[in-house]
Structure 1
Amino acid sequence: MGKSKFAWAILDTRTGNRNQILGVLSQLKLRYRIIEIKYNFLAHLPNFFFQIFNNTIHIGSIKKLNKEPSPDIIISCGRRTATVALELKKIFNYKPFCVHLMYPQYTFLKNNFDLIFTPQHDRIKQKKNIKKFLGSPSNIKLIKNIEHSFIKPVFFLLVGGDHGNFKLSVREINKILKSIIKRLDNRGSLLITTSRRSSDHLIERINYLKSKYNIIKEVYHPKTSKKNNPYFRNLSIAKEIVVTGDSMSMVSDACETKKPVRIYYNKNFCSNKHINFCEKLIEKNYAFSFDTLGEKCNKIKVLNTSKKIAAHIYESYKNE
């Protein structure tokens, strides 16, 4: 887009939201300022409640908010940051170009966003200012030439967790791990990372299986571990990646690596929109079904959602 342009990026404490914005910014290649916000106890209320008052009543603190340098573009992500972006847009006479990632439910004045990007599997109609893309924007940058002591081949398992009425059970984890361990046949290493949505029962089971099977070399739980997350390292050194289909962000990250990605999903723990998402990725050769584990993949496509969104922002901004 050019370094003469300047962006304000509104970041909250949600890791997924932050990574989506940073992924798009990395592809836009412009100067930007991070506006850090933290929520208060009102943040669980719907967006229209905030808008009845002043758009920012749910904000506990906001850092680095001064008008200089003023933004050409404001980028936000997630429901709660939407009203903040709309409020910031109002304070400038020239009205900066306002981009929002993820459809902001229960929000008035959505048409004041110049662009809203939402996943293809969401039941939202595409309009002039609403664009749908396959996958979530990602900020994955693989690390080259990493030295490690893991026995090759390295398989990396990404485990999601519960969402709404859908629960990822111990039974499903047993099935996944049994299949991977059988495929490795005591040759190689299995690394596992869970998510903050993984239940305590799931974490306990995975820890037990690590003590039972030597081929499970490392387990990382973001809910409980105080060590640095080896997520990027593991994506970089893995020969194959297995991911549960309930986590759209993890699946999207894996599909940015140009490595064989096997998605384990079913209706027991995945909603219809998650299942549709996984099937579309498999149909378009960004990923493969779990039952192909270990098979050679002749054609692997890279999702590149951040790059595609950045290109669309550039074209839309240029034509304003």
Structure 2
Amino acid sequence: MTQPGAQNRENASKSCDAFRDGPDVGTVPRVWVLTGFRAGDKAQMLALAEALGWPFTVKQFAYRSFELVTNILLGPNLAGLKRDKSDHLTPPWPDLVISAGRRNEPIARWIKARSGGRTRLVHLGRPWAEPRHFDLVITTPQYHVPPRDNVLSITAPLHQVTAARLEVAAERWRNSVASLPQPRIAVLVGGSSPPYVFDRDMASRLGRAASAMARQAGGSLLVSTSPRTGPAATQALHAGIDVPCHFYAWQADPETNPYLGFLALADAFIVTGDSMSMVAEACATAKPVYLFDMGKGWSRMRSEPPARPELIPLADRLRPRRVLHWLIAHCLPRRVRRDIRLILRGLVANRQAAWLEEESGGDRQSQPLRPSASTDLPRAVARVRALFATPAGD
């Protein structure tokens, strides 16, 4: 884990640069970013903080094993924190707190209480507490957050992919893929995420389908796995590829990771449908994006029926994990459920992405797409800035 305060120091120069481009010194809000437990949450919060152009400090936390209980039952509190391993929370209190994830909700609310209600709270994703406890909730359709004046619904998660970052990444990784034939198709691979299971069979299927698409185009593959892919699925994916490729099996060292370079240098993308972050980042390049459907039966990602009936053996239907996933998806209260298909189907309906056709050898990847730059981040920035047009508490 990064030592407490290390990320703060890392952002010092970044904050200064943002400050120079921001409003006058006397009017610039003080911003704290409460680092997320998940990488996708972190990326969203940093994307928003950077786009605001105000100086910001990242607060890093370590959590207790029982934080779920204290966070749900106690409201604004710090009981779920390991205080000695977390960044300090002391005055002067920030004007704005950006948070995401269940673990940081009570911390953000605790800060607002200590500030006398002056601190504005912006939460990304699904709030477990009632949305009324936040000044602004920026969410996506998968979370079923009901419409309110303080809720902004965007099409996909925010991200840090910018033209400047892509340009730098392209220069760094260009020579690594120069020998591969074009077009180069990047395959961005997530992993198991209930109710979706990315096992050896599914990984092999993806390898074959991606190879067919590249072979028909006379091109190659740029493959990047992730921490959730797992070694067995990674091996099966690699074995299923029979065209020229640059294959990156995820490692903990970010310096070896060509993911951003693949985003910059690929001509098209195949993305597993489990990762909303990777889907959003691929769409941000304004290049063709094809989604790999990881569902079967009731969990099928695409809305249209399959070309031929899906035969799911009874033993598979009754597997404890599959039954549990069905119960979670259908029996929990709507406000705590998640349905990523709502995002994927929206992108397909707007022709920003298309489904990867596996059975046709790639010859149906011809439907016209209209990739375009997302307006989600500018909308989010405008709504956050609007919070400071009126006094806190109004």
TM > 0.5 between the two?
Answer: yes
1:99 match: secondary structure: strand
Give the superposition deviation at 1:121.
2.9
Counterpart of 1:195 in structure 2 is 226
**How many Å apart are 1:220 and its aligned residue?**
2.5
Structure 1 residues 242 and 81: alpha-carbon distance in aligned structure 2, compared to 1, 3 A threshold? same
- Kindly indicate whether the alpha-carbon contact (under 8 Å) linking 1:9 and 1:32 is maintained by their aligned counterparts in 2: yes
Residue 168 of structure 1, aligned match among 193, 198, 218: 198
- What is the alpha-carbon distance in structure 2 between the residues aligned to residue 7 and residue 17 of structure 1? 17
**2:290 match: secondary structure:** strand
Are positions 1:232 and 2:264 aligned together? Answer: no
Deviation at 1:238, TM superposition (A): 0.8
Q: Deviations over 1:92-119 (max 9, x none)?
A: 13511111111222x3x64231111221
Moved more, 239-248 or 293-302: 293-302
Q: How does 1:64-75 map to 2 (within 5 A)?
A: 64-68=88-92, 70-75=93-98
Q: Residue 153 of structure 1 aligns with which residue?
A: 183
Higher strand share: 1
User: Unpaired runs of 5+ in structure 1?
Assistant: none
Residue in structure 1 matched with residue 77 of structure 2 by the alignment: 55
Distance 1:97 1:165, change over 3 A: same
Shifted more, 174-183 versus 246-255: the winner is 174-183
Q: Does 2:158 align with 1:127? A: no
Q: Contact between 2:221 and 2:243, CA under 8 Å: does it hold in 1?
A: no
Conserved 8 A contact 1:265-1:275: no
Deviation for aligned residue 1:206: 2.2
Rounded Cα–Cα distance in structure 1 between residues aligned with 2:378 and 2:49: 9
Aligned residue runs from structure 1 range 203-282, under 5 A: 203-209=234-240, 213=242, 215-222=244-251, 228-268=256-296, 273-282=339-348
Structure 1 runs (4+) deviating above 4 angstroms are 224-227, 269-272
- 2:138, 2:254 → 1: CA distance? 34
SS of residue in 2 equivalent to 1:89 = helix
Q: Deviations over 1:190-220 (max 9, x none)?
A: 121222222443122124346xx35122222
**Structure 2 match to 1:318:** 389
Q: Provide the secondary structure at the position in 1 that maps to 2:373.
A: coil
- 1:117 is matched with which residue: 138, 144, 150? 138
SS in 2 for 1:263: strand
Task: Give 1:58 shift.
Answer: 1.3
Q: Provide the rounded CA distance (Å) in 2 between the counterparts of 1:305 and 1:197.
A: 27
1:113/1:181 CA distance change after superposition, 3 Å = same
Cross-structure match for 1:303:
374
Trace 1:8-157 onto structure 2 (pairs within 5 A): 8-45=32-69, 47-51=71-75, 55-60=77-82, 61-68=85-92, 70-93=93-116, 95-105=118-128, 107=129, 110-141=131-162, 142-144=165-167, 145-146=170-171, 147-150=174-177, 151=180, 152-157=182-187
Point out the more displaced range, 11-20 or 292-301.
292-301
SS in 2 for 1:59: coil
Question: For residue 386 of structure 2, what is the amino acid of its counterpart?
Answer: E
Structure having greater relative contact order (Cα 8 Å, sep ≥ 6): 1
Q: Is 1:283 matched up with 2:305?
A: no
Question: Structure 2 length as normaliser, TM-score?
Answer: 0.72
Alignment partners' CA distance in 2, 1:84 and 1:244:
33
Aligned residues: 312
- Report the structure number with the largest CA radius of gyration: 2
Question: Is there any run of 5+ residues in structure 2 with no aligned partner, and where?
Answer: 1-21, 302-328, 330-338
- Verify the 8 A CA contact 2:97 2:122 in the aligned structure 1: yes
Counterpart Cα distance in 1 of 2:107 and 2:370? 43
Q: Say which SS state the counterpart of residue 75 (structure 1) adopts.
A: strand
- The alpha carbon displacement at 1:183 in A equals 2.4
How far is the alpha carbon of 1:85 from its aligned partner? 0.3
AA paired with 1:123? Answer: H
Q: Tell me by how many angstroms 1:226 deviates.
A: 7.4
8 Å CA contact 1:12, 1:38 repeated in 2: no
Given that 2:206 and 2:237 are in contact with CA atoms closer than 8 Å, whether structure 1 keeps it comes out as no
- Contact 1:286–1:303 (Cα < 8 Å) also in 2: no
C-alpha contact 1:203 1:221 (8 A) present in aligned 2: no
CA contact (8 A) 1:154 1:240 kept: yes
CA–CA distance in 1 between the matches of 2:65 and 2:157? 28
> How well do the aligned residues superpose, as a CA RMSD in angstroms?
2.6
Partners of 1:279 and 1:96 in 2: CA distance? 37
Show CA shifts across 1:55-107 (max 9, x none).
11111232153324x422111111111110000111113511111111222x3
